[in-house]
Amino acid sequence: MPHDDPLYTDAALVTFYDAENEGGADVDFCTALARGGGSVLDLGCGTGSFLAGLDVPRRVGVDPAAAMLDIARARPGGADVEWIEADARRLDLGRRFDLVVMTGHAFQVFLGEDDQRAALATIARHLAPGGRFIFDSRNPACREWEEWQPHNSRRRVSHPRHGEVEAWNSAVHDAATGIVTYETFYRLADGRELTAASRIRFTPRDELARLIADAGLTVERWLGDWSGGPLDDRAPEIIPLGRLG
């Protein structure tokens, strides 16, 4: 995963991640998947809220951003998790897990097919026989980037240290590559502005299906949202749930 996105590497911005992303249906869904298993590997674990709150004997969280892992280690329950600063494209722990997850749209930071193949190979390399994997990617058919514009993305964010913060986005989509470059803006109460630029790729389902199969993985179910809804052109997410082929 890229190391240079300030939303994940700048300590001044990392604290906004949980303010906008804490909890959610993905955490609930993956917690249910992990129940009864002995081990979970979270690729792109971020600030560690999923693993720190999970009742599973062996939990490993991997992320390339040291600032995110600092927050993860300090969480209640964080001391019971193994946190590793590493890139999911090159990870080889020499261990296998009952469940491998990559949520929070972390898969979308892999902008080229070679990087996507490397990430999927990492998933396959770390899956135990009978183990399952799951990850999410936004559905390009929904064109979500059109919502990430200043006129319709303005919102108020409650931050534990800065109080009420005004936030908004802007985004540009490259139709040839499926890559969206977007900026995130936070205006603090004292007038200061914090900004970050990010790039993510929107990959169609048929391309994902081909890459997943090439990695030796089999999809058991394609989900369109974290409530288990069907995948169609109106579904916001592309979520493959599967196992080793």
Residue 125: per-residue pLDDT:
98
Residue 9: per-residue pLDDT:
62
* Confidence check: pLDDT of 194 > 70: yes
Q: How confident is the model at residue 24 (pLDDT cuts 50, 70, 90)?
A: confident
Question: What is the model's pTM?
Answer: 0.92
* Confidence check: pLDDT of 28 > 90: yes
* CA distance readout (Å), 60 to 56, 81, 97, 163: 10, 6, 9, 32
The model's pLDDT over 139-175, given as tens digits with 9 standing for 90+, comes to 999 999 999 999 999 999 888 788 898 999 999 999 9
Residue 196: per-residue pLDDT:
87
Q: At what angle do helices 113-125 and 205-214 cross, to 10 degrees?
A: 50
Residue 223: per-residue pLDDT:
98
2 or 103: whose pLDDT is higher?
103
* Confidence check: pLDDT of 186 > 80: yes
State the DSSP string of 173-242.
EETTTTEEEEEEEEE-TTS-EEEEEEEEE---HHHHHHHHHHTTEEEEEEESSTT--B-STT-SEEEEEE
Would you say how long the chain is, in residues?
245
The span from the CA of 233 to the CA of 139, in Å, is: 8
Within 9-154, strands assigned E span 39-43, 58-63, 82-85, 97-102, 127-135, 137-138
Residue 169: per-residue pLDDT:
96
% of the chain residues with pLDDT over 70:
92
Q: How confident is the model at residue 128 (pLDDT cuts 50, 70, 90)?
A: very high
The model's pLDDT over 130-140, given as tens digits with 9 standing for 90+, comes to 999 999 999 99
41 exposed, middle or buried (CB, 10 Å; 0-12, 13-18, 19+)?
A: buried
